[in-house]
Amino acid sequence: MTKENFHEKIALILIFLIFNNYFILSLNFSLILVKINFIIFLSTIVFYYSYQFRENIYFKIFFLFIIIMSLGTPTFDWDPRSIWLFHAKRIFYDISVFSVSDNYAMFSHNDYPNLVPAFSSSLAVLIGDWNEIFPKLSFLFMAFPPMIFAYSFLKETKYLIFLSLVFFIVGKFLFNGWADGLLALYFSVSAFLMYEIIIKNQTDQKKGKEQIYNILAVFFFSSLTLIKNEGLALLVIIFFSAFIINIYKRNIYNKIYKYIFLFISFVPIILWKIFCYSNELGNDYLNANLLENLLPRIDNLDNYLQIAYFLLLNEKFILSLIFFLLIFLFNPNKELFIFVALLTLFYLFILFFVFLSTPADFYFQLNSAAARVIKSLSLMLGFFAIFNMKLNK
């Protein structure tokens, strides 16, 4: 493998194998194919570690420690045990991502996308047994594609700052069985790819790199929607924000073919939603009367203040926002700033709406979910701040 675009190619191979695993388990192919696919995935990681070991050494050491931490900690929290790893366990025994079609154990939200549980189950298939610890490693493995890809444009000092940011914001969510850490990583990289492909002027970009970016974008975008339900909302926001900027620049017609190609990334989640609808798989939020929950809360100022307190006064969000504003103050990039601002405002609007219309207890929902869902915005703000930094060589 040539060194040119090396990290992009490794990231592409890894994310393709993650999707291929999902495809194999969707069509009930032989278990030997599941094992071969996962062995190739692990072999690619070993190759990446051994090929010029000193390159990206911080990442390699960082993830070795995280792997040890993951293997040394059991799964305690309700969501990992009762949703993500529970779905993975069902896929492991039924050898199909459609094992939820019977809607057994409705508490586990059977309508949730199954990309991450499918990958966890395949690791168990490779080992030949199931427990509550080692399948969590697959969550960490799924973080490899965005982390390796980021090194292709965040070199040396910038990448070390990025690793520190990931550790600070995502932290234990890299290995504790929650999917929110993966969502944050894939959202940041997906937003970057949309900026590079659709918004940024690419006249000076090499043809080969542009093609890799287009293919990577489809895989990262699709993965974003299949990690959690929130991923679909995030991808819609990414597309809509880029669309607004291109309308303002009067450049929408020049990008129309790229938009059409990137819309392919919605196909997997649309097929999953059709499957859920045909098997009457829903969740408490969608099955509830949203207006019945929203209207009594929408005119109460205290509700907005409580949401703002849990979301906007989150210490990691505040620090990321300050970091982002300072970087862009000293190194202005108007187009990128507007893109990130639109992403932030649109997602905050959605979060306010979701919390105001939740069928669960209002305070309980905020207290249990706000700190997790804001991670995607916090990491994205810090990510683009690092990307926009100018460092003295």
Tens-place pLDDT, residues 25-45: 998 888 999 999 999 999 999
What's the pLDDT score for residue 51?
86
Burial letters for 258-275: b for 16+ Cβ neighbours within 10 Å, e otherwise? beeebeebbebbeebbeb
Two structure tokens written together for 305: 């203040």
What's the pLDDT score for residue 208?
66
Q: Judge whether 295 and 288 are in contact, CB under 8 Å.
A: no
Two structure tokens written together for 207: 């043809």
Q: Which residues are CB-neighbours of 225 under 8 A, at least 6 positions away?
A: 113, 231, 232, 235, 265, 266, 268, 269
User: CA 293, 241, 174 angle in degrees (round to 5)?
Assistant: 70
DSSP string, 112-176: S--HHHHHHHHHHHHHTS--SSGGGHHHHHHTHHHHHHHHTTS-THHHHHHHHHHHHHTGGGGTS
Two structure tokens written together for 138: 């697959």
Q: For 5, left (φ over 0), alpha (ψ -120 to 50), or beta?
A: left
DSSP state of 389: -
pLDDT band at 329 (very low <50, low <70, confident <90, very high): very high
What's the pLDDT score for residue 209?
80
DSSP state of 95: -
Q: Pick the most confident of 81-85, 250-254, 312-316, 358-362.
A: 312-316
Residue 302 vs residues 41, 294, 373: alpha-carbon distances, Å: 50, 14, 21
Two structure tokens written together for 50: 């051994």
**Closest by Cα among 4, 390, 14 to 206:** 4
Burial (CB < 10 A; 0-12, 13-18, 19+), residue 35, is: middle
**In the predicted structure, residue 120 carries a pLDDT above the cut 50:** yes
263: enclosing H helix or E strand: none
Question: How many C-beta atoms surround the C-beta of residue 172 within 10 A?
Answer: 15
Query: Which sign does the torsion angle of CA 328, 164, 340, 369 carry?
Result: negative
What's the pLDDT score for residue 67?
87
Quote the strand ranges of the chain, DSSP E: none
Question: Mean per-residue pLDDT for 312-340?
Answer: 95
User: CA 89, 90, 94 angle in degrees (round to 5)?
Assistant: 120
Two structure tokens written together for 91: 């896929």
Question: Mean per-residue pLDDT for 363-375?
Answer: 93
Q: What is the pLDDT of residues 126-143, one digit of tens each?
A: 999 888 788 889 999 999
Q: For 107, left (φ over 0), alpha (ψ -120 to 50), or beta?
A: alpha
pLDDT band at 393 (very low <50, low <70, confident <90, very high): very low
pLDDT band at 333 (very low <50, low <70, confident <90, very high): very high
Question: Mean per-residue pLDDT for 4-16?
Answer: 92
> Is the entire prediction scored with pTM above 0.85?
yes
DSSP SS3 for 28: coil
**Helices 6-26 & 144-151, crossing angle to 10 degrees?**
160
Q: What is the pLDDT of residues 168-204, one digit of tens each?
A: 999 889 888 899 999 999 999 999 999 999 998 654 4
In the chain, pLDDT over 90 holds for what percent of residues?
65
What's the pLDDT score for residue 202?
59
Residue 379 vs residues 81, 170, 344, 362: alpha-carbon distances, Å: 25, 8, 11, 26
pLDDT band at 62 (very low <50, low <70, confident <90, very high): confident
The percent helix, strand, coil of the chain (3-state, each to 5) is 75, 0, 25
Average model confidence (pLDDT) for the chain? 90
